[in-house]
Amino acid sequence: MGKKTKIGLAAAAVGAAAWAGSKALANPQQRPAKEVLNYERPIVLAHRGGSKLAPENTMAAFNRSADLGVHGFEIDIRMTNDEEILVFHDEFIDRTTDGAGRVADMSLDQLKAFDLGYHFIDTDGNHSYRGKNERVVLLRELIEKFPQMFINIDIKDDPATYEGSLVPSKLWRLIDSLGAQDRVVVTSFFDEQIDRFNLYAQNRVAIGAGENEVRKAYTAYNSQFGHLYQPRADVFQIPVKSSVFRLDSPRFIAFLESLNIPVHYWVIDEQDAMRDLIGAGAKGIITGRPDLAVEIISDME
């Protein structure tokens, strides 16, 4: 036996021993159950209220999706300069021909002057919501108006900004004051924002996975050391693909399910894709076309 072969076999033996040792010592912890994630059938979450059917993040969109029978909403939040938590996605507001500005630099009263239906074009190609008084919505208003709805809240403000530094504590106090702990999920692309929020919530609210947490889970899944992964999220809301990596395989979904972590996929607007994901084990479809998704879920019942 050659020297290189001996070295290779020794390295393999060391690797196998390390794997066996880690397997024996590992104690993977399932995430504790959260009431908001207690459902048996896949759910439909209307993306920004159902952004392909009505102007995003407006009461028109939320009301229409609720009437269709969705299970909840997937929304973004930003903070105004008078520290109100707004249901809004973009950093800048530019929804009419006569105004634009950064959300964090404007007051709630200033933002209420904007027509959120101005640029929206419906499925028939019409500006059907222009001038129909569709205004910005406060998170408080949304939670109070739809007490039966699952609401997935995505913190958009960067933790390095002034508004981003305030929003985790403000959000927790709002959720707590409304008694909505069991009706919401809080997440962010910024893992730091999720961690900050949970310092206040102390695991009393379900939390999603930031970009780093998703990366950590996928790396563990693809390695021989998936048994060492200790999740810090209760639910994953992810795209089907990140860079060159597919995140929609049945095995990856099952890996997370074994840790009591359901997977929701965004933004899925085609019915064939919805069927494929549900068939692979997805527990939630986040969509701008809730009419199509509700139809598919209804067909399953």
Which residues are annotated as catalytic?
47, 89
Q: Which residues, listed in sequence order, are joined to residue 285 by a DSSP beta bridge? A: 44, 265
150: Cα within 13 Å, side-chain hemisphere: 25
The position carrying tokens 């609401």 is: 151
Residue 32: CB partners within 8 Å, gap ≥ 6? 203, 260
Given a contact cutoff of 8 angstroms between Cβ atoms, the answer to whether 12 and 181 are in contact is no
How far apart (Å, rounded) are the C-alpha atoms in residues 155 and 85? 10
Given a contact cutoff of 8 angstroms between Cβ atoms, the answer to whether 65 and 148 are in contact is no
**Farthest CA pair distance, the chain:** 83
Strands 72-79 and 85-87: antiparallel
How many whole angstroms from its chain centre is CA 70? 16
